[in-house]
Chain A
Amino acid sequence: MKRQSTHFAAAPLAALAGALLLTAPGAQAADIKIGVIAPLSGPIASQGVPTSRGIQAALKYRSEVGGRKVALIQLDDASDPSASARAARKLIDEEKVDVVIGTGGVPGSMAIAAICREAKVPLISYTPLVLSGDDSAWAVTTAQPAPLMINAVVEHMKKAGVKTIGYIGFSDSWGDLAYGSLQKSAEAAGMSVVTNERYARADSSVAGQVLKIVAAKPDAVIGGTAGTPGALPYIALAERGYKGAIYGTHGIINPDFVRVTGPSGQGLLAPTGPVMVAEQLPDSHPSKKVAADFRAAHQAVHNAVPGDAFSAYAFDSWLVATDAAARVAPKIEPGTPEYRAALRDAIFATKDLAVTHGVLTFKAGSPYGADSRSAVVVKLDKGQWVLQP
């Protein structure tokens, strides 16, 4: 665990200076402290690095709320859930942050959620959280729940007249989650899922599984996969000459997947957040403006256009935090338990907040705030994602 830059290392000094200022008469309002935990190294660093970029863009985009400055303290958890937990403790006990944002990976986020709940500090995650009822009293997430995304795809299949669906996914919890969501949505839409084939992320061939799927002759095949390991079934299907429609989940929307899949991915349909196709959205879409703002801020800070979904999720968590902070009564001072409780209440009172991944409305009892406006279906055409009506 290490501080990310000398800029952040100066934070305690700044806090000290702030404390000195407070003793002076007519002191400025105290800063709001946001603690960010991200996997900047380790196996899921490819997710954590864009996240951190998104947060830095967000800091540039909104660094002041209601006359108070927002201070950012960022820690690396090295993709290790136990390090995530230690980072959360450090942020809460030593830095006395008002809200925690983090982290990449569901296990790490779950570890932080438990600590935040115990310490009564609000958590805004950007990965799915498996929480409900009282357990989610202090935690929300900007990610869309998997069933919502899968449902968007099933809706698309229904319109296209698909009756039977072949499924191939990872032999892990992501594969299970995608299959479970698919079965529920498909049943409701009067379709049947005819295969449940699995493979491991590290496998080198899915010839056997794909043969079985092709033999079952489904109208469409959907892969419950993520990232570059998810390319394998689509390549194998193309090799076997499968002619039906191919679908995927939101886990495959990344430039490396497109590179590895190559021409085999032509025509692939997948759900994603609106930000990925921001410039193709109709002007009436609530995400259009904020997504453009996000791109501009990202461009200004990093001199690059964001090509991934993760930086946008992180940007959204910052928006949720600052939007809620603006609604906290100005007389409550940050850094106090009253402030943290008021901030939590404000987060759970978030209603129709336009973010880059759709619109968020949080209610007590569930960490998810996304609705069907947070999912669009895109089609891979010559290496580009094209928005589907």
Chain B
Amino acid sequence: MTWDVALILSIDGLASSAIYLLAGLGLVLIFSVTRVIFVPFGDIAAFSALTLAAFEAKKVPATIGLVGTLAALAVAAETISLIRQRAFARLPMAVAGWGVAPGIACALAWWAAGRDLSMPFAIGLTILLAMPMAPLVARLALKPIADASVLVLLIASLVLHFLLSGLGLLFFGPEGVRTQPLLGGSIAITDNFSVGLQVVLMVGAAAALSALFFLAFERTLAGKALRATAVNRVGARLVGIRPARTSLLAYGAASLLAGFVGVLISPVTTIYYDSGLLIGLKAFVAAIIGGLTSYPLTALGALAVGLVESFASFWSGALKDVIVFSLLIPVLILRSALSAHAEEEPEEIPS
């Protein structure tokens, strides 16, 4: 291995790391607030990539149908539960939040589909369409069992993944897509080594989004509420933070991240309806390195996963994924050796 090869591999790894970092942040955010390991995260990222590709091909993205159906179901579920509670005054708010808001995104996308869209506008629409997905899915499938054990939640989210990827096949078809690079060209560093601007963009976007998240957590009230819920759910409720509200916020923020992941990854690789699982799994390895709680450690984990993956593909292409997932073993051994064992399963308050 020469220096050139090592440099190229490092850059390739860095670009993957950026993707895993964003996905890992989303996973940690959702897990710390709601205790759900949100497996469908990758699916939403893949759907966002497929949506962007549909806009580019001047077709109506199938995501509109998906989001519309989910919104209709969510409105129905919310209405039924409010009528049961006889809380009629909250009905208009619920319909507006669960039905009208995603409906506006769908209508906007419907109007724009088939037109000549500028790249930033198409990306904006794509992310707008991706945003309601995680909250809607979570409202339908995870909110009714929000107080179940972590294992039940994990299994429910696994089922959600299979459901979503099945819907993905139905809506998007089996063929893969690739979108135009957001930034063409490259910066030459040495004679036979250059960095693509797309890679620079990916790393930059990941860094900027992480910084934004950091600021939001440190400086805003909503961010502090999220942190409080993550630290202690029961305590957060006692000081007046509503878990339903914070979990909605967490899902929304994660959905936003998934939208960005999809937009950033689709120009560099071919995305299929089921590509999300592998992205999600590798981000999960990164999140595990961060103990599913620490954001900085997750970032380090994402860096490690991306670089190991890139170098592993050079040493042994066929065993690449085996090497990446084997990273989990030493990490888990180390973590369980270092951490004091407090099998905490806090007593849940019935809602």
Contacts and interface: CB of A to CB of B under 8 A. Distances in A.
A204 B318 contact: no
Contact of A203 (B9, B175, B315, B320): B320
Nearest to A261: B178
Interface string B143-179: 0000000000000000000000000010001111110
A207 B174 contact: no
B9 A260 contact: no
Contact of B176 (A45, A205, A239, A260): A260
B310 A232 contact: no
Contact of B268 (A198, A204, A262): A204
A373 B120 CA distance: 51
Contacts of B178: 231, 260, 262
A171 B275 contact: no
A202 B278 contact: yes
Given A46-B173, A228-B175, A208 B270 contact: no
A199 interface: yes
Contacts of A70: none
Given A205-B12, A260-B270, A197 B317 contact: yes
A204 B8 contact: no
Interface in A221-247: 227-229, 231-232, 239
Given A205-B310, A208-B9, A199 B270 contact: no
Nearest to A200: B321
B317 A232 contact: no
Interface string B267-284: 011101011001100000
A215 B6 CA distance: 13
Q: For the side of the interface on A, what is the size category?
A: 20 to 34
Contacts of B310: 205, 207-208
Nearest to B315: A208
A171 B269 contact: no
B146 to A, nearest CB: 32
A285 B54 CA distance: 41
Most buried by B among A44, A208, A209: A208
A181 B196 CA distance: 37
Contacts of B279: 204
Interface in A186-212: 197-200, 202-209, 211-212
B270 A198 contact: no
A256 interface: yes
A191 B91 CA distance: 75
Interface in A43-64: 43-46
A256 B178 CA distance: 11
A197 B9 CA distance: 16
Interface in A278-328: none
B131 interface: no
B314 A209 contact: yes
Interface string B251-294: 00000000000000100111010110011000000000000000
Contacts of A260: 175-178, 270
Interface in B171-229: 173-178, 196
Interface residues on B, range: 20 to 34
Contacts of B312: 208
Contacts of B79: none
B317 A209 contact: yes
A202 B275 contact: yes
Contacts of A262: 178
Interface string B310-330: 111111011011000000000
B16 A231 contact: no
B80 interface: no
B77 interface: no
B212 to A, nearest CB: 25
Contacts of A229: 176, 270, 272
B5 interface: yes
Given A204-B278, A211-B5, A215-B5, A198 B318 contact: yes
Interface string B294-320: 000000000000000111111101101
Interface in A245-286: 256, 260, 262
Contacts of B8: 207, 211
A215 B274 CA distance: 33
Contact of A231 (B9, B270, B320): B270
The 6 closest A-B pairs by CB, nearest first: A208-B313, A208-B314, A204-B269, A198-B318, A207-B12, A228-B176
Given A43-B174, A260-B176, 18 more contacts: A46-B174, A171-B317, A197-B317, A198-B317, A199-B317, A199-B320, A203-B313, A204-B265, A204-B275, A205-B269, A205-B310, A207-B12, A208-B310, A211-B314, A228-B175, A229-B176, A229-B272, A256-B175
30 contacts: A43-B169, A44-B174, A46-B174, A46-B175, A168-B317, A171-B318, A198-B317, A199-B313, A199-B318, A199-B320, A200-B318, A203-B313, A204-B265, A204-B279, A205-B269, A206-B317, A207-B12, A208-B310, A208-B317, A209-B313, A211-B8, A215-B5, A227-B175, A228-B270, A228-B272, A229-B176, A229-B270, A231-B178, A232-B269, A260-B176
